[in-house]
Amino acid sequence: MHPTASLAGQTALVTGGGRGIGKAIALGLGDAGAEVVVNYSTSATAAEEVVRTIEASGGKAYALQSNVSVETEVDSLIKAILERSGRIDVLVNNAGITRDGLLMRMKIDDWQSVIDLNLTGIFLCCRAIARPMLKQKSGRIINITSVVGLMGNAGQANYAAAKAGVIGLTRTAAKELASRGITVNAVAPGFIATDMTKDLNTEAILKDIPLGTFGTQEQVAGVVRFLAGDPAAAYITGQVLQVDGGMVMA
Ligand code: NAP
């Protein structure tokens, strides 16, 4: 655990925390002293491995299965955490999928499943956690969006629409919850090396990234950790922090 453990005594939920960026976020929050709830949908072994890694470095963590695109499962997930940990201080809405295809050929199922998880899933988690956070008069919510939600992307109408929606949801939640000291921000990664991006045409993409490389999961996790635990971040809300090597400058 980090010597200046800023999240000691706090509980953090990371959706999709067993793999990819979510795993790096879970490990980062564990290192900052939080008890981490590693949510997963299908990757039980990976999630348990993240739990063991946090515990091995002196931290606290447990894994909980839940499909966060389903209302009843989200409500049960939040209830289970409140029963076990008593509070939730940090929510990181990280779980996300892609189902790419050109607009004119996109199947309704591919549209719907991306909206259901990447947008409705975040709404469901924010809604379920709003009441307990309002009661405790504190909380930090961090939603993982994407630069694609700011700039659009050919072949990703569903994903871009969901990620743009997350930005509107973030700003609305920030306004609704601010009076009780709860901050709500979005982090917009550019291209980060994970399973989600492993099949992309790297050379073509790198041309559009001023810093000339893909980002790392740890770089995204570092920004989330700052928003979740740094005292300076208490005065940041309703913002979209881009971690994109300069891809989108506006
Ligand atoms: P990834 O490696 O494909 O991991 C996706 C994560 O989402 C997994 O942990 C997965 O858990 C979880 N998940 C999928 N369906 C779920 C469900 N129904 N309920 C709960 N969890 C579910 O993706 P990633 O690259 O780490 O992406 C993480 C987030 O960053 C996503 O929101 C993505 O849109 C965003 N992002 C990524 C990039 C990038 O370049 N990689 C760029 C911008 C934004 P299971 O395996 O258990 O299903």
What is the per-residue pLDDT across 103-146, written as a single tens digit (0 to 9) for each? 999 999 999 999 999 999 999 999 999 999 999 999 999 999 99
Residue 173, token pair as written in the block: 């939640």
Give me the pLDDT at residue 200, please.
84
5 versus 185: the higher-pLDDT residue is: 185
Residue 15, token pair as written in the block: 């959706």
Ligand 1: residue of 94, 115, 195 to mutate (most ligand atoms within 8 A of CB) is 94
Give the integer Cα–Cα distance in Å for 249 and 209.
Answer: 11
- Burial degree of 76 (CB within 10 A; 0-12, 13-18, 19+): middle
What is the per-residue pLDDT across 217-239, written as a single tens digit (0 to 9) for each? 999 999 999 999 999 999 999 99
Contact 185, 171 (CB under 8 A): no
**In Å, what is the CA distance from 133 to each residue of 138, 148, 189?**
6, 30, 26
Domain definitions of the chain by residue range: 11-243
Other beta carbons less than 10 A from residue 33's beta carbon: 22
Atom of ligand 1 at shortest range from CA of 68: 19
Give the integer Cα–Cα distance in Å for 161 and 224.
Answer: 23
Confidence of residue 56 (pLDDT cuts 50, 70, 90): very high
Residue 50, token pair as written in the block: 């993240």
Is there an atom of ligand 1 within 6 Å of 159 CB?
no
Distance 93 CA to ligand 1 centre (A): 10
Give me the pLDDT at residue 201, please.
82
Look at the block and give the residue holding tokens 């997930």.
Answer: 77
Q: What is the residue type of 110?
A: D
Distance 179 CA to ligand 1 centre (A): 31
Q: What is the mean pLDDT of the chain?
A: 96
Torsion sign, CA atoms 102, 250, 217, 174: negative
Give me the pLDDT at residue 240, please.
98
Is there an atom of ligand 1 within 6 Å of 33 CB?
no
Contact 159, 114 (CB under 8 A): yes
pTM across the whole model: 0.97
Give the integer Cα–Cα distance in Å for 133 and 204.
Answer: 44
Contact 197, 180 (CB under 8 A): no
**In Å, what is the CA distance from 37 to each residue of 32, 33, 61?**
14, 13, 6
Distance 195 CA to ligand 1 centre (A): 9
Atom of ligand 1 at shortest range from CA of 147: 43
Domain 11-243: which topology?
Rossmann fold (3.40.50)
Residue of the CA atom closest to atom 8 of ligand 1 = 16
User: Which long-range contacts does 170-174 make (Cβ < 8 Å, 24+ apart)?
Assistant: 170/141, 170/143, 170/145, 170/238, 170/240, 171/238, 173/126, 173/130, 173/141, 174/237, 174/238
Is there an atom of ligand 1 within 6 Å of 14 CB?
no
Judged against a pLDDT cut of 60, whether residue 17 lies above it is answered with yes
Residue 89, token pair as written in the block: 């201080």
